[in-house]
Homo-oligomer: A and B are copies of this chain.
Amino acid sequence: MGKEIATREQDYSQWYNDLVIKGQLADYSAVRGCMVIKPYGYALWENMRDVLDRKFKDTGHQNAYFPLFVPKSLFEAEEKNAEGFAKECAVVTHYRLKSDENNPGKLIVDPEAKLEEELVVRPTSEAIIWNTYKGWIQSYRDLPILVNQWANVVRWEMRTRLFLRTAEFLWQEGHTAHATKEEALVETKLMLDVYADFAENWMALPVIKGVKTVNERFAGAEETYCIEAMMQDGKALQAGTSHFLGQNFAKAFDVKFSDKENKLEYVWATSWGVSTRLIGALVMAHSDDDGLILPPRIAPIQVVIVPIYKGEEQKAQLDEKVLAIVKGLKELGISVKYDDSDNQRPGWKFAEYELKGVPVRLAIGARDLQNNVIEVARRDTKEKQSVSLDGIEQYIKNLLEEIQQNIYNRALAYRDEHITKADTWDEFVNLLDTKAGFISAHWDGSSETEDKIKELAKATIRCIPLNNPFEEGKCILSGNPSTQRVLFARAY
């Protein structure tokens, strides 16, 4: 009856693409690797953005906007950062097109409009922002600077996936400047907590807070903190990162401040970001073979009401009652859609809203009206129930909270069941091939070993969990001593 989608078991990757496209979140575009975010997907992003923006402001941050382009000479100033992103930079080299004399109606790049210095389309904005901060910071009185930017960035990826890995994506990037190392470290961890709180309590997505190994650090950072989530195929998805940048960018752009003793010091930095990639995480963590399952707290439509009727008279009776319910739900802050369009049958609508992951569907017909009841269907469990119309608004409000909690609990249970310990290399390799999920194992702490494991097993260290218990052990590959387990996984 509805649109065909692949099942997870058949083809996990196709299932994901079907949900994104047929669920109306996004579409491919004519530009290699770039997507179109459709209205339903963008409404979801707006809800996520608004919650995060409120959290940023509540923790003292302000928004600003910096240029899309980074002159090459600034881009290359912080060498590690430049090296890390150089291979995926879109570069503007010209500023004009002109008519093609050999091809009427066509345009060519005007060779006379070549830029003296090429401009990199920002893959991240540390360079342009720290070059700007140089002009904003003289004294300790100018610190801290707590600024965030909502923007598009471009990273030229060879293999792209809708939301998960696109050449252009939307994100926020916080860039803060501090007088002391301690303050910058506090900020780095504070924002990690903000992300974890958002992921768990709004996206219903359990995450593990951790720190990246040297190999997996953000290019230019001294330390990268992250939240890692588990998808339903057991793979890991990095859902957000918060970087302690030390004085690297301050040194690259010569940003100093005079402290209270009038001594000149380099400024300390952090940066942190999450992106539209989170939408991919949301889709893969919660959905099922019938479509999306969206957590109520960020769903664009929380409740849909479908009338079932024959003829105008029945419709008019239903309208009266339903519009009162709509009003009541809106007064409780619930977003509700009354779909009384007459160009599709109720069954088609049921399948469509199931596919789009609307948390609660209400259906009501003439008989229901007589009996003073309405059919309530939960998207998460697919349970249906006939519920009294008396106090239905409060019932729905409670139900939405229950669904939010249930989606989280389900994802948490799945994740916890899929973190397994391995103590030998054989166990490790065997687990990777036979059981989805993360592997908790000892590692000797060297980049060399990490590289070798990646090469041999295609698994990376997702993070060293914060608050990890210390225990004696031996590295699964090298056998060298280790004091704590780290989390390995194959990852998006």
Q: How far is the CB of A371 from chain B (nearest CB, A)?
A: 34
- A81-107 Cβ-contact flags toward B at 8 Å (1 or 0): 011001111111111111100000111
Question: In the assembled complex, which residues on chain B have CB atoms less than 8 Å from the CB atom of A71?
Answer: 30-31
Given A30-B131, A90-B92, A154-B68 contact (CB < 8 Å): yes
Q: How far is the CB of A127 from chain B (nearest CB, A)?
A: 9
Indicate the member of A68, A105, A132 with the most B CB atoms within 10 Å: A68
Question: In the assembled complex, which residues on chain B have CB atoms less than 8 Å from the CB atom of A30?
Answer: 67, 71, 74, 128, 131-132
Assess whether B98 is in contact with A90, with CB atoms less than 8 Å apart.
no
Pull 10 A–B residue pairs with CB atoms less than 8 Å apart, ordered by A: A27-B132, A45-B65, A68-B152, A72-B107, A82-B97, A87-B96, A89-B95, A90-B95, A91-B109, A92-B93
Is A34 interfacial (CB 8 A cutoff)?
yes
Assess whether B132 is in contact with A29, with CB atoms less than 8 Å apart.
yes
Assess whether B75 is in contact with A156, with CB atoms less than 8 Å apart.
no
Q: How far is the CB of A96 from chain B (nearest CB, A)?
A: 6
Indicate the member of A41, A67, A119 with the most B CB atoms within 10 Å: A67
Question: In the assembled complex, which residues on chain B have CB atoms less than 8 Å from the CB atom of A95?
Answer: 88-91, 156
Chain B residue at minimal CB-CB distance from A76: B107
Task: Give the size of the chain A interface in residues (CB under 8 angstroms).
Answer: 67
Question: In the assembled complex, which residues on chain B have CB atoms less than 8 Å from the CB atom of A118?
Answer: 109
Given A87-B96, A97-B89, A109-B93, A34-B79 contact (CB < 8 Å): no
- A219-244 Cβ-contact flags toward B at 8 Å (1 or 0): 00000000000000000000000000
Question: In the assembled complex, which residues on chain B have CB atoms less than 8 Å from the CB atom of A479?
Answer: none
Question: In the assembled complex, which residues on chain B have CB atoms less than 8 Å from the CB atom of A147?
Answer: 39
Given A97-B120, A343-B141, A64-B36 contact (CB < 8 Å): yes
Is A410 interfacial (CB 8 A cutoff)?
no
Q: How far is the CB of A154 from chain B (nearest CB, A)?
A: 7
Is A70 interfacial (CB 8 A cutoff)?
yes
Question: In the assembled complex, which residues on chain B have CB atoms less than 8 Å from the CB atom of A38?
Answer: 64
- A114-131 Cβ-contact flags toward B at 8 Å (1 or 0): 000011110000001001
C-alpha spacing A377/B208, complex, angstroms: 52
Chain B residue at minimal CB-CB distance from A30: B131
Q: How far is the CB of A339 from chain B (nearest CB, A)?
A: 14
Is A170 interfacial (CB 8 A cutoff)?
yes
Is A46 interfacial (CB 8 A cutoff)?
yes
Given A63-B42, A94-B91, A95-B90, A168-B69 contact (CB < 8 Å): yes
Chain B residue at minimal CB-CB distance from A40: B62
